[in-house]
């Protein structure tokens, strides 16, 4: 595996059982580096680890907040192997890589294979539409306020690093609430702190 700009690596594999559920190409990557973070949080590639939970493939596949329980369009057989800095998820399904747009719950094809996905990371900003000026600690994602899915958000959104689990649950809740709102429809968001 030839990936540059790794700023954090997972500790050695301690969840051997989850490896049996993964395709060989993903197992090879995890054997070399048990997950990693690129560019201080631009992309997090989960590992075969029991802890920390934010890094655990097992938690993403089978945990209390497994992605297939949070989103209708995620199958139990999908493997949520990575996430970008704002919490969009990358899934392996039938050998292809899909992107889950976390705020809206939509799934779309992104790469023909895991190998293709990794090869295209050479242009991570263009390929994944991420910025490299943000620095997060391992276990954090950027939370956009207002959410990107709202008209007028975009470049004007304030981004702040928060624990990954909070961003994931927030996005899943938004996606659930706006699931039946047509494009251009109106929503009222109430933020409770």
- Domains with residue ranges and CATH for the chain: 6-178 (3.40.1580.10)
pLDDT, residue 121, reads 94
Question: At residue 33, what are phi and psi to the nearest 5 degrees?
Answer: -145, 115
- Report d(CA 37, CA 158) in Å as an integer: 22
Does the pLDDT of residue 165 top 90, yes or no?
yes
- Percent of the chain scored above 70 by pLDDT? 89
Report the C-alpha gap between 67 and 37 in whole angstroms: 20
Of the chain, the percentage scoring pLDDT greater than 90 comes to: 76
Task: Copy the structure tokens of residue 169.
Answer: 């649950």
Cβ(25)–Cβ(111) under 8 Å? Answer: no
Q: How far is CA 151 from CA 158, 172, 175, in A?
A: 14, 19, 15
Confidence of residue 17 (pLDDT cuts 50, 70, 90): very high
Structure tokens at 23: 């395709």
Cα distance from N-terminal residue to C-terminal residue, the chain:
43
Count of all residues that appear for the chain in the document: 193
The b/e string for 176-188 (b: 16+ C-beta within 10 A; e otherwise) is eebeeeeeeeeee
Mean pLDDT computed over 6-22: 96
| Predicted TM-score of the model (pTM) | 0.91
């Amino acid at each position: 595996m030839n990936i540059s700009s790794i700023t954090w690596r997972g500790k050695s594999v301690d969840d051997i059982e989850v490896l049996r559920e993964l395709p060989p190409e993903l197992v090879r990557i995890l054997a070399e580096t048990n997950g990693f973070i690129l560019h201080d949080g631009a992309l997090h590639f989960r590992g075969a680890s029991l802890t920390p939970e934010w890094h655990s493939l097992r938690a993403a596949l089978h945990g209390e907040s497994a992605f297939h329980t949070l989103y209708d369009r995620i199958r139990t057989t999908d493997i949520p192997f990575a996430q970008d800095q704002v919490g969009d998820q990358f899934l392996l399904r039938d050998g292809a890589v899909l992107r889950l747009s976390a705020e809206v719950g939509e799934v779309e094809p992104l790469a023909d294979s895991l190998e293709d996905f990794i090869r295209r990371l050479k242009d991570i900003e263009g390929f994944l539409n991420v910025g490299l000026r943000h620095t997060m600690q391992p276990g954090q994602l950027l939370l956009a306020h207002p959410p990107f899915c709202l008209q007028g958000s975009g470049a004007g959104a304030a981004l702040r690093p928060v624990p990954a689990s909070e961003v994931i649950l927030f996005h899943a809740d938004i996606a659930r609430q706006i699931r039946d709102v047509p494009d251009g429809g109106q929503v009222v968001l109430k933020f409770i702190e």
